[in-house]
């Protein structure tokens, strides 16, 4: 008989135990999707080892038609963590919008000024 009452007591307490043991809340924060870069093209502007070059380094999934940037060779030589774009990369079928020169000019690929 005592066993019968203990089972009833255990069953009566079960809802309170289940309520107290609810699932913990989990906060999910999304990381921003940063573009992935590769080097599509490099144009050396002179033969000087300390000279300048144009770097075409598009991003993916956005930034695929970003402008080429004029940089110095030392900076280019320090970019060891960025690979060349693979031939089947979708960015290889696109062109940059133009050239962003260090003196502030923005031109198309033929050197004509851009009006942005």
Domain that holds residue 80: 36-107
Rounded to 5 degrees, φ, ψ at 30 are -85, 135
Q: Confirm whether 84 is domain-assigned.
A: yes
Instruction: Tell me whether residue 71 is in a domain.
Output: yes
Nearest to 38 by CA among 61, 68, 59: 59
Inside any domain, residue 43: yes
Residue 27 placed within a domain? no
Does 57 map to a domain?
yes
Instruction: Determine, yes or no, domain membership for 14.
Output: no
In-domain check, residue 21: no
Task: Examine the pLDDT at 21 and tell me if it is beyond 60.
Answer: no
Three-class SS string for 21-39?
CCCCCCCCCCCCCCCEECE
- Domain contains 67: yes
Q: What are the pLDDT digits (tens) for 84-96?
A: 999 999 999 999 9
> What is the spatial distance between Cα 45 and Cα 99, in angstroms, rounded to a whole number?
13
Q: How many domains does the chain have?
A: 1
Average confidence (pLDDT) over 43-65: 92
Q: What percent of the chain has pLDDT over 90?
A: 59
pTM reported for the whole predicted model: 0.67
Number of Cβ within 10 Å of residue 53's Cβ equals 17
pLDDT grade for 31, boundaries at 50, 70 and 90: confident
């Amino acid at each position: 008989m005592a066993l019968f009452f203990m089972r009833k007591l255990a069953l009566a307490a079960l809802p309170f135990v289940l309520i107290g043991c609810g699932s913990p809340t989990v906060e999910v924060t999304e990381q921003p999707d940063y573009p992935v870069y590769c080097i599509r093209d490099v144009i050396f502007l002179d033969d000087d080892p300390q000279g300048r070059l144009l770097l075409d380094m598009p991003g993916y999934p956005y930034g695929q038609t970003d402008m080429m940037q004029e940089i110095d060779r030392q900076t280019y030589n320090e970019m060891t963590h960025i690979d060349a774009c693979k031939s089947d990369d979708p960015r290889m079928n696109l062109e940059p919008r133009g050239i962003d020169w260090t003196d502030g000019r923005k031109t198309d690929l033929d050197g004509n000024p851009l009006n942005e």
